[in-house]
Amino acid sequence: MTQSAPKIPLSKPLIGEAEEELVIRVLRSGRLARGPVTRTFETNLARYVGMKHGLAVCNGTAALHLALLAHGIKPGDKVITTPFTFVASANCILYTGARPVFVDIDRQTYNIDPEKIGEAIDRDTKAILPVHVFGIPCDMKPIMELCEDHHLTLIEDACEALGATYDDKAVGSFSTSCFSFYPNKPVTTGEGGMLLTNSDDVAARVDALRNQGRLGGEWLSHELLGYNYRLSDILAAVGIAQLRRIKSILRRRQEVADTYSRHLQGTNVRTPLITEGRSWFAYVVEVEKRDDVAKKMNERRIECKPYFPPVHLQPPYRSLGFKEGEFPVCEEVSRRVLALPFYSQMSRTEVRFVVSQLKRCL
């Protein structure tokens, strides 16, 4: 089953001496957890996005889980989200005992279709969890209006959308929001996540929940059923260095995406949506006979993945009763999408090589 490593991987973190230096400084300081470095990372990200509180956690999934808990989502509640996302966006709902209610996506943006949300809301609906998929901002205005009209909590899954904007406002600043720093994300800490909120109350609850339920500060008083979802200062140091060069990371990714789109002109590959305010998590195209193309590309050691298969057709969701045909737009998109190699330091030569190979595989 061993396969040779891809010649061109799907993604690659951009790590340099700045990251190394800050990590070494933390290692030598002796303060590896719950220290000032984590606090600085939190402050810096919160300021970048324009939010009052940042709470670092061990990954983006944990941030989503705590966002729902801190907003009081509990067994019996329903939370509306999209079936076209990474599975964690829906799993976090199941962790709380609430029920995910999927709403089909918009064919152009791949994001939850605001026009279809209304009919999915009922008495048990407590929250809407939109996902800015691939860095494409959701249409927040109608979603926020629905939340207001029906007194619903809004939680943004912005794990793929650091740097994106909607109406000139940062994605992740419209509500309590979650970010991920997994190595395939534009800003990485290896593993890591952050919850941002403007609510003092939510921040206090998340702070306790991530730290074994300690509300008062006493080390052995556990007022809530908490978790250990903390982030290490060693990893927060990486995040600080990454955030310092976010501008250049975002600019490079834009350039790689532009190069791809230029070279794919005139082929029957559907290139990604260029839309106001998007940032680039992945470069995802649509092709006919996607599985064949993916197989041929991977045989050529160019790593490509079918981002995303529908969440509602994953086994844990099928066993809840979800089935094929329920969300036809998502299912059609899922059959056609293919994520191509994409990373900040990808050269024009690499992009041209991927495109030339892709043309042969079509």
Ligand X SMILES: *Cc1c(COP(=O)(O)O)cnc(C)c1O
* Residue with Cβ nearer ligand X (89 or 211): 89
The CB-of-230 to ligand X minimum distance in angstroms stands at 14
Strands (E), the chain: 53-57, 78-81, 99-102, 125-129, 153-157, 165-166, 169-170, 176-180, 193-197, 283-286, 337-340
The stretches of 197-264 forming alpha helices (DSSP H) are: 200-209, 233-244, 246-263
* Residue with Cβ nearer ligand X (232 or 259): 232
The CB-of-185 to ligand X minimum distance in angstroms stands at 6
* Residue with Cβ nearer ligand X (102 or 361): 102
The CB-of-56 to ligand X minimum distance in angstroms stands at 12
* Residue with Cβ nearer ligand X (59 or 259): 59
The residue sitting closest to ligand X, measured at its beta carbon, is 60
- Residues of this chain that bind ligand X (CB under 6 A): 59-61, 85-86, 88-89, 131, 157, 159-160, 180, 182, 193
At position 85, the amino acid (one-letter code) is T
The CB-of-260 to ligand X minimum distance in angstroms stands at 20
The CB-of-229 to ligand X minimum distance in angstroms stands at 11
* Residue with Cβ nearer ligand X (129 or 264): 129
* Residue with Cβ nearer ligand X (193 or 310): 193
The CB-of-32 to ligand X minimum distance in angstroms stands at 20
The CB-of-61 to ligand X minimum distance in angstroms stands at 3
Which H or E element spans position 117? helix 114-117
At position 137, the amino acid (one-letter code) is P
* Residue with Cβ nearer ligand X (46 or 358): 46
DSSP conformation letters of 45-56:
HHHHHT-SEEEE
* Residue with Cβ nearer ligand X (171 or 257): 171
8 A C-beta contact, residue 284 and residue 134: yes
The CB-of-279 to ligand X minimum distance in angstroms stands at 13
Q: CA-to-CA distance for 32 and 328, rounded, in angstroms?
A: 48
CB atoms < 10 A from the CB of 184, how many?
A: 18
Nearest to 181 by CA among 8, 311, 15: 15
Q: Residue 76, class by beta-carbon neighbours within 10 Å (0-12 exposed, 13-18 middle, 19+ buried)?
A: exposed
Q: CA-to-CA distance for 138 and 164, rounded, in angstroms?
A: 10
8 A C-beta contact, residue 120 and residue 80: yes
CA within 13 Å, CB half, 258: 6
